[in-house]
Amino acid sequence: MRCITTPENMLSPEGAFGGNPLFYWIYGLAAHLVPCWLAYVIAGLVIMLILINAVLLGAAIVSWGERRLLGRFQNRVGPNRWGPFGALQPIADLTKLITKEDIIPYGADRLAFTAVPVIMVSSLLVATAVIPFAKDVALVDLNVGVLFILAVSSLTSIAIFTAGWASNNRYALFGAGRAVAVLISYEVPVVLSLLGVVVVAGSMSLGDIVVAQAVPFFLVQPLAFFVFLAGMSAELNRTPFDVAEAESEIIAGYHTEYSGIKFALIQAAEFGGALFVSGLIATLFLAGWAGPVADWLGWLWFLIKTFIGIFLFVWIRSTFPRLRLDQIMAVCWKFLMPLSIINLAAVVLEVYFLRDASGTLSTSDLWIMAGINMVVAVVSIAFFGRIIRQKIRNSSRTMTASAPMVRGVPTIEVG
């Protein structure tokens, strides 16, 4: 029987699973036993299963690693009871959480309340599909990868707002209101900084962006890297921008009422989000799977760079206090926003003048850009940093000369 659904027939080598040896291997194996269309489906599902498990397992490892790291930063031990170095702690946590009672509070919107963890986890998993873990190893190398990631990851803000609304809890509502304000605002500078990356790479495909990084983009566009890092800490609700789930203020923010498996899923989405964003930083700014030696070790370089990102996030979390909501907004609109516009303008001008006839940039062009942009970054961060510093400081009220006394308490005059 002639097989019309072979990968070769169905897809070009650049398309989904294109060039992925693992897919061909599974397909070949399955095609011995079942009709080839079924083998195609099976192979695709197996790859997706691997990806989903990798992301969720990665989230578990991140949750363990973050707690261990935080422990070291905070001068304590961290989880170390279960398994070597406590590495099985996520399993213990998960076991505890799925055996707990799954409470839906009285007066909650049951459907919306239940949908939130699913939306959060699935948007994370879908967004991971376009990240190249190694050379030619991505579920799909979309030609609009960056746009796709932005579109899918903004689903999270809808989920968070739904959670706050559906929980019938005032702390959750506070958290949701804060989260939506922060997420929507920070989307703007993040998109603008990514635009700079896209302009230099000349493509929205993440695979092409990695290839274009003969010089890693965190050198070529330090401003974009800085804005992206700050913006993503806000999108991930991490310090110093973690107002949405500020534990000391509003308990746990939007997920105050979640327990059991729903809470586990939300946590998985959060730690998975940290993993995903670190992977994105590695891909977009640290040259992804490209390493000093051996392209076939791409996955290793990618992993190392991802963990650098995670380490950075944990480090920031363990060090900084939290900003207030209005200050976070000021930082977004008055600091990161101008920086990302300056970065975009500088990059566009440089690309316009430096590119050759075919519209490509050579490695030396990138180094020239890196040199110019470093200076631009230092100058503009210093300049806008001064402005935002004064703005934020002045926004705090000064002391009034004499204020109303406490009700019912007789007052005395103080000379």
Partner 1 sequence: MTIRTEPMTVNVGPQHPSTHGVFRVRITFDGEDIVEVEPVLGYLHRGSEKLAEERNYVQVVTLTDRLDYTSSMINNQAYCLAVEQLLGIEPPPRGKYLRTLTAELQRIASHLIAVGFFVQELGAFGTPLMYTFRSRERILDLFEMLCGARITVSYMRPGGVFSDTPPDFWPALDQFLEDFEGELEEIENLLLNNEILMVRTRGVSPLPADVAINCSVSGPVLRASGVNWDWRKMAPYDAYDQVDFDVPIGSNGDNYDRFWVRMQEVRQSLRIVRQCIAQIEPGPVRLELPLVLRAEPGAEAYGRVEASKGELGFFLVSDGGVSPYRCKIRSPSLINLTITEHLLLGWKLADMIVSLGSVDINMGEVDR
Instruction: Answer for the pair 334, 388: CB distance below 8 angstroms, yes or no.
Output: yes
| 321 touches partner 1 by CB under 8 A | yes
Q: Which of 124, 138, 198, 243 binds partner 1 (CB under 8 A)?
A: 243
Q: Which of 326, 345, 360, 386 binds partner 1 (CB under 8 A)?
A: 326
Compare residues 52 and 70 and give the one whose CB is closer to partner 1: 70
Report the length, in residues, of the chain. 415
Nearest to 59 by CA among 381, 275, 222, 203: 275
Find the shortest distance in angstroms from Cβ 160 to partner 1. Answer: 17
| 360 touches partner 1 by CB under 8 A | no
| 259 touches partner 1 by CB under 8 A | no
C-alpha span between 332 and 108 (Å, rounded): 33
Measured from the Cβ of residue 210, the count of other Cβ atoms closer than 10 Å reads 25
Find the shortest distance in angstroms from Cβ 172 to partner 1. Answer: 11
Compare residues 363 and 396 and give the one whose CB is closer to partner 1: 396
Return the residues of window 174-193 that contact partner 1 according to CB under 8 A: 174
C-alpha span between 280 and 200 (Å, rounded): 17
Q: Which of 42, 46, 51, 70 binds partner 1 (CB under 8 A)?
A: 70
Q: Which of 259, 318, 348, 381 binds partner 1 (CB under 8 A)?
A: 318
Compare residues 80 and 114 and give the one whose CB is closer to partner 1: 80
Instruction: Answer for the pair 140, 129: CB distance below 8 angstroms, yes or no.
Output: yes
Nearest to 288 by CA among 263, 312, 272, 308: 308
Number of residues engaging partner 1 in binding (CB under 8 A): 50
Compare residues 5 and 239 and give the one whose CB is closer to partner 1: 239
Per-residue x/- marks for partner 1, 81-120, CB under 8 A?
Answer: ----------------------------------------
Find the shortest distance in angstroms from Cβ 111 to partner 1. Answer: 24
Nearest to 178 by CA among 383, 6, 354, 332: 332
Q: Which of 80, 214, 303, 324 binds partner 1 (CB under 8 A)?
A: 324
Return the residues of window 368-397 that contact partner 1 according to CB under 8 A: 389, 392-393, 396-397
| 240 touches partner 1 by CB under 8 A | yes
Q: Which of 31, 323, 332, 347 binds partner 1 (CB under 8 A)?
A: 323
Only segment of 9-17, 106-114, 370-378, 402-410 that touches partner 1 (CB under 8 A)? 402-410
Buried b (16+ CB within 10 A) or exposed e, 14-23: eebbbbbeeb
Only segment of 54-62, 151-159, 197-205, 235-243 that touches partner 1 (CB under 8 A)? 235-243
Distances (CA, A) of 19 to 29, 56, 137, 253, 306: 17, 25, 8, 44, 24
Find the shortest distance in angstroms from Cβ 393 to partner 1. Answer: 6
| 229 touches partner 1 by CB under 8 A | no
Q: Which of 21, 75, 81, 363 binds partner 1 (CB under 8 A)?
A: 75
| 413 touches partner 1 by CB under 8 A | yes
Find the shortest distance in angstroms from Cβ 389 to partner 1. Answer: 8
Compare residues 359 and 404 and give the one whose CB is closer to partner 1: 404
Instruction: Answer for the pair 131, 280: CB distance below 8 angstroms, yes or no.
Output: yes
Only segment of 16-24, 103-111, 281-289, 322-330 that touches partner 1 (CB under 8 A)? 322-330
Compare residues 114 and 259 and give the one whose CB is closer to partner 1: 259
Compare residues 357 and 401 and give the one whose CB is closer to partner 1: 401
- Enumerate binding residues for partner 1 (CB under 8 A): 70, 73-76, 170-171, 173-174, 239-240, 242-243, 246-251, 317-327, 389, 392-393, 396-407, 409, 411-414
